[in-house]
Amino acid sequence: MTVSRIGILGAGTMGRGIAQVAALGGYETRLYDAFPAAAEEAATKLREALAKGAARGRWSEAEGDEASNRIGPALAIGELAGCELLIEAAPEDVELKRRLFADAAAVCGPETILASNTSSLRIADIAAGVPGPERVVGMHFFNPPVLMKLVEVVAAERSSARALATATKVAVGMGRTPIQARDTPGFVANRLARPFSLESLRMLGDGVADAATIDRVVRLGGGFRMGPFELIDLIGLDVNLTIARSFFAQGGGPERWRPSPIQERLVAEGKLGRKSGQGYYPYAEGSGREPDPELGIAAPTLDPEQLTRIDPAAGEILPRLFAQIANEAALALEEEIASPADMETATRLGLNWPIGPLGITELIGASQAVGLLERLQREKGAAYAPAPLLISNISSSG
């Protein structure tokens, strides 16, 4: 199916970002919002952003002008008629998303593909009650869409091959890198990232080290751009906690996904991270954190001598984190949420990880990961139960 016109349902930050990459990709783009003034304002801001991007050399002036001419507001949902693809970028409310798709389906033809940018809701739940659920897919962009190259194309049980192929082709046309994902909690990147915050919080609760030490070890020993607590403060503790609760509920309450009581307490106290001035670090005026001069100087390592030079606790912090990442990757492979190659792409492009979870598994080794997990399971419980696939990798690699 050929797509020449795309409608964006929702003129907020994500909707504007998706509209920008759509217009730059050569697609006629219409922004719709329940508040017409918001759609008009978003179209104006996008034209300004495209002009600024050209001035900064991100694209040529001609490319910016052409993209600007492709963007326009849709002041009523009927103006989306003629769009071959609609991408919904509304708040994470399943009823709202269903209603938007139902309204759009009433004015667009039965061939129109309906794609949701949800990051936490099941595509099947959104498609329920929408005429032609086989045309509903997920197109999960990462924030900000103009910089982040990953798009998770999510297949619900009833999503058609035609709809999935169309979404994939359009993602490529927008200059993004699509991967194929099953309709499971968190899809691919966010699912594989669960241990990054949850295991770090468990180590904090266990007294392995304080937040600043864990962050420093993860940056310098793990090669990550940000430590877990720096990242949570940036995202917002409340947002991160909401995601954790959603995973825990949708996954049936697995112990490894249980939300952290530390985070529950801090959110209850109003310590939400950068936006509130206090999270795991203070952000009041005059007390902002200085950049670490050693940020990003090291590649991922589990060499004991190198880790000891970072901090005495590093030899426990990084193996625990890497073992849990390897375990989550093995469980995800067992569930076939995505291909191994797409899992690696998801974490590198969607999360800016230095290496993917399978690379981390190779670095720590299945034997070391399982041995550590089994010890922690005996000491701390089911959150550390090793995946059968990880266990089987010991004999297959031996």
Catalytic residues, by residue number, are: 119, 140, 152, 190
d(CA 64, CA 323): 46
Torsion on CA atoms 348, 350, 353, 359, rounded to nearest 10 = -40
Contact 270, 234 (CB under 8 A): no
Edge-to-edge strand ranges of the sheet holding 28-32: 71-74, 28-32, 5-9, 85-88, 113-116, 136-141, 150-155, 177-182
Strand (E) positions, the chain?
5-9, 28-32, 71-74, 85-88, 113-116, 136-141, 150-155, 177-182
11 in helix, strand or coil?
Answer: coil
d(CA 89, CA 147): 17
Cis peptide bond prior to 195, omega within 30° of 0: no
Q: What is the DSSP letter of 137?
A: E
Give the residue from 88, 16, 15 showing the smallest Cα distance to 47.
16
Structure tokens at 316: 């426990």
Contact 369, 323 (CB under 8 A): yes
d(CA 15, CA 25): 15
d(CA 173, CA 185): 27
Residue whose pair of structure tokens reads 């090291």 in the numeric block: 298
